[in-house]
Amino acid sequence: MSSMNEWVFQRRKNRKQHLPDFIVTQEIINKISNVFDVPEERVRDLYENSWKIISEGMKRHYLAHVIRTMEEELRKLPGNDMFQICCTPVAEDSRDIGIASAHYYKGRYFSIYYHPKTDGKQLRIMLAHELGHLFLLELINTAGGYDYNIKTQIEPISTIMGIFTILDKNEFYHNKTVPFKHTSPDDVIKDFTLLLNRRKNIINIS
């Protein structure tokens, strides 16, 4: 291993060692219980039987900001008032791992289907690509006066739109969210205790 590679490896190792652990432990549950005066059993039940169920379904919403924004834009078009974008997993025993597909119902909804065992990183790529198709079929056609349709060779263009989507999301996660990040679980709990000021008719959340 070269000296440069050794330096990069050591830097990554050190950075990993200093990353805060935000896993919900018994200690965190106890702190939440004490600070907000909620029985420990209730806090644990909320985490184990409510939050975990929600978090397990988050994979299909990896690009939720993009999906929500596209829905809002598409609903501005005539006849699209209730337009929806749905991301739905297929059956777990399906052999189509690593493959995503979409069905487009003009003026109604756009459904993306994927295998629930798809790798998380790959799933984001596939969702972005499928959303690229919808972007072309609706937003680009309407706003730009183009005539993309399912018979047009739009695969490369959809992929390019997908690349723009992932680049933007990574820019958001790596740079734009820095001011909003907390340094530790205690830091998170501390910020939320400010909401308790509402009981004193003091409104502040940060």
Tens of pLDDT along 63-107? Answer: 888 889 889 988 988 888 999 999 888 888 888 777 788 888 888
Structure tokens at 21: 């652990």
Q: Is the pLDDT of residue 3 over 70?
A: no
Q: Please, what is the average pLDDT of the chain? A: 80
The residue-averaged pLDDT of 50-73 equals 81
- How far apart, in whole angstroms, are the C-alpha atoms of residue 4 and residue 9? 9
The residue-averaged pLDDT of 118-144 equals 82
Q: Where are the alpha helices (DSSP H) in the chain?
A: 3-17, 26-36, 40-46, 52-56, 64-74, 120-134, 141-144, 155-171, 185-193
The residue-averaged pLDDT of 29-44 equals 94
